[in-house]
Structure 1
């Protein structure tokens, strides 16, 4: 599973990267986080839920899935 940052100047989207291919299938598995920073897994409950669903149950997020930005705290 690939999680990319829309705001990252050097992220996969800025280089025309394609979603990760799910092993043994023709499915593309990705989610875009609309926020900023690095280490997106802990930045957004939405990202955590998408990644967990994939890693635990192999549930692929919908095509063009995205998660809204969450204002950092602290």
Structure 2
């Protein structure tokens, strides 16, 4: 139940739920920053896919060319 004025320190259910909804997103960002983008993003993909890096020119390295769609 919400308070009568805006001066109380009680949170409503919606405020608590919206704060908790950010937890999985912040955990994912932390894992990607800590382990790097390749490992951090690969763990969320299904087994049939993999994350590969590309060079700044847009052409992937020679060892990653097998993953390209033609």
TM-score where L is the length of structure 1: 0.24
Bigger relative contact order, structure 1 or 2 (CA pairs below 8 A, ≥6 apart): 1
Q: Which has the higher strand share?
A: 1
Q: Which has the higher helix share?
A: 2
- Greater CA radius of gyration, 1 or 2? 2
TM-score where L is the length of structure 2: 0.26
